[in-house]
């Protein structure tokens, strides 16, 4: 794709915006970087960019200055409903994501991109390990927390690039073309960002938009049948959910590996040695017969359903809630009824969760995250699992799911490693049913 000009507005100083600014500046682009927040971390990043000679503002979006740009590189944190986004669109400036911009400069065509409503991080991590084991250098990048654009200087034309990509990033891609595109699944998600399920599904399908007959579109037949029956992409469609009894994530990994010529034995070895991902069903502690599991990466009901299926019936003390990305919590109420002994509801989603689950399990509310952890610890008995699996984003209480998971682990370890139990009024609860 022809780059649409040298003057670029970068909106958002998260890690992808920061790395994009560094990369584009080093290649001669004229930048204006803008972030509405003013956290200490953002201030440090801003100062580092200013020292390179980049114009940066924090604490506001100066529209006049932004609109003098040729195009905008936008962070997933900038919602289409925001005034700055609307102003950019009204002016007619092209808007791209970091994924799109990185694709213009990547020397390797060996790109595997994975999207979906749940399971993206696990599958991208496994595929990166499998390609590394089979072929050598492989780069794990994207929405997983490692911007692709920040790794470009290390990538050669022979290397594999395995990307986790979100609907936000795909929505602002025009020419991005993965050799293998994977759509793991579709369920209602990000309804706080997308107008409806149609737009959300359309954003996900952009992963296949520019593929040719030499590329592969890996997806579930039942998703196509349900959400986009008339879809026709340029790549060869391969359905990983046909005639398989494997875990869906594992089935997708095997499917992609076979397309790349990777032997099953290599994938089996990777799966056997896989230690999991931080904040995804991560075991934190075991005390007095109670297991404490950090699943802070769970931000949707679909992801919660996947987690709950791992535990015995009636054994889970669940910490759920936060900033709701959708309002479809009733879709998991049967599983909650079966698996959850007590649900502790917190954050902005408390009312939605209570309405959906109040008749299917015992429940209580917590005014703070710390209170929820204390109550869970107090209620747990031998054989139980205290599970942080919020089914919501973290933005009402934390800067991201990583911070939420880190706080959970810290609180759990403080409670389970102390020698004597101390009474705490915050741990008392009144159970409703």
Over its C-alpha atoms, the chain yields an Rg (Å, rounded) of: 22
Host H or E run for residue 32: strand 30-35
Alpha-carbon distance of 342 to 212, in angstroms, equals 50
Number of residues assigned to the chain: 433
Q: What residue spans define the domains of the chain?
A: 7-96, 103-273, 282-427
Pairing state of beta strands 160-164 and 180-183? Answer: unpaired
Sorting pLDDT into bands at 50, 70 and 90, what band is 119?
confident
Element (H, E) at 346: strand 340-346
- pLDDT class of 79 with cuts at 50, 70, 90: confident
- The architecture (CATH level 2) of 282-427 comes to Alpha-Beta Complex (3.90)
The predicted-structure confidence for 380-432, as pLDDT tens digits, reads as follows 999 999 999 999 989 889 988 999 999 999 999 999 986 444 334 344 333 34
User: For residue 238, what are its two tokens?
Assistant: 């391969």
> What tokens appear for 271 in the block?
């799966």
More confident residue, 210 or 76: 210
Strands 30-35 and 7-11: parallel
Of all residues in the chain, the percent with pLDDT exceeding 70 is: 94
d(CA 53, CA 138): 33
Cβ atoms of residues 109 and 179 within 8 Å: yes
Distance CA 124, CA 135 (A): 16
Determine the topology of domain 7-96 in CATH.
Rossmann fold (3.40.50)
**Cα 351 to chain centroid, rounded:** 24
The class that CATH gives domain 103-273 is alpha beta
Distance CA 260, CA 257 (A): 5
Q: Please, what's the b/e burial string for 200-213 (b: 16 or more CB within 10 A of its CB; e: otherwise)?
A: bbbbbbbbbbbbee
Give the predicted TM-score (pTM) of the model: 0.79
Residues 6+ positions from 232 with CB-CB distance below 8 Å: none
């Amino acid at each position: 794709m022809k780059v649409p000009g040298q003057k670029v507005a970068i909106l958002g100083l998260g890690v992808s915006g920061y790395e994009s600014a560094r990369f584009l500046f080093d290649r001669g682009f004229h930048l204006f970087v803008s972030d509405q927040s003013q956290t200490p971390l953002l201030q440090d990043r801003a100062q580092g960019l200013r020292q390179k000679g980049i114009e940066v503002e924090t604490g506001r979006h100066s529209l006049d200055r932004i609109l003098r740009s040729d195009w905008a590189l936008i962070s997933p944190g900038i919602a289409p409903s925001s005034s700055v986004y609307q102003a950019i669109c009204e002016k007619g400036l092209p808007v791209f994501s970091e994924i799109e911009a990185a694709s213009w400069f990547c020397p390797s065509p060996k790109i595997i991109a994975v999207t979906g409503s749940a399971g993206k991080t696990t599958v991208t991590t496994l595929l990166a390990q499998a390609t590394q084991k089979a072929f050598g250098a492989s780069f794990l990048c994207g929405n997983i927390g490692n911007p692709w654009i920040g790794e470009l200087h290390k990538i050669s034309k022979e290397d594999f690039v395995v990307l986790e990509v979100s609907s936000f990033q795909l929505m602002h891609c025009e020419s991005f073309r993965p050799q293998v595109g994977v759509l793991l699944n579709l369920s209602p998600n990000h309804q706080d960002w997308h107008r409806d399920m149609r737009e959300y599904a359309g954003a996900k399908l952009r992963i296949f938009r520019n593929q040719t007959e030499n590329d592969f579109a890996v997806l579930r037949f039942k998703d196509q049948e349900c959400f986009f029956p008339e879809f026709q992409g340029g790549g060869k469609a391969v359905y990983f959910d046909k005639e398989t009894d494997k875990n869906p994530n594992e089935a997708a990994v095997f499917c992609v590996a076979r397309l790349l010529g990777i032997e099953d034995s290599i994938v089996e070895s990777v799966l056997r040695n896989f230690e999991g991902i931080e904040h995804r069903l991560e075991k934190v502690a075991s005390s007095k017969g109670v297991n404490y599991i950090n699943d802070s990466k769970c931000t949707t009901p679909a992801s919660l359903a996947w987690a709950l299926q791992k535990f015995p019936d009636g054994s889970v003390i669940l910490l759920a809630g936060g900033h709701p990305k959708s309002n479809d919590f009733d879709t998991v109420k049967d599983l909650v009824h079966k698996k959850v002994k007590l649900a502790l509801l917190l954050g902005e989603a408390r009312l939605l969760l209570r309405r959906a689950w109040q008749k299917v399990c015992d429940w209580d509310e917590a005014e703070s995250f710390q209170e929820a952890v204390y109550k869970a610890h107090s209620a747990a008995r031998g054989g139980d699992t205290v599970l942080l699996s919020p089914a919501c984003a973290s933005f009402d209480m934390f800067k991201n799911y990583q911070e939420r998971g880190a706080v959970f682990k810290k609180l759990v370890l403080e409670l389970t490693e102390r020698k004597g139990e101390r009474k705490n009024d915050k741990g008392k609860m009144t159970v409703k049913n």
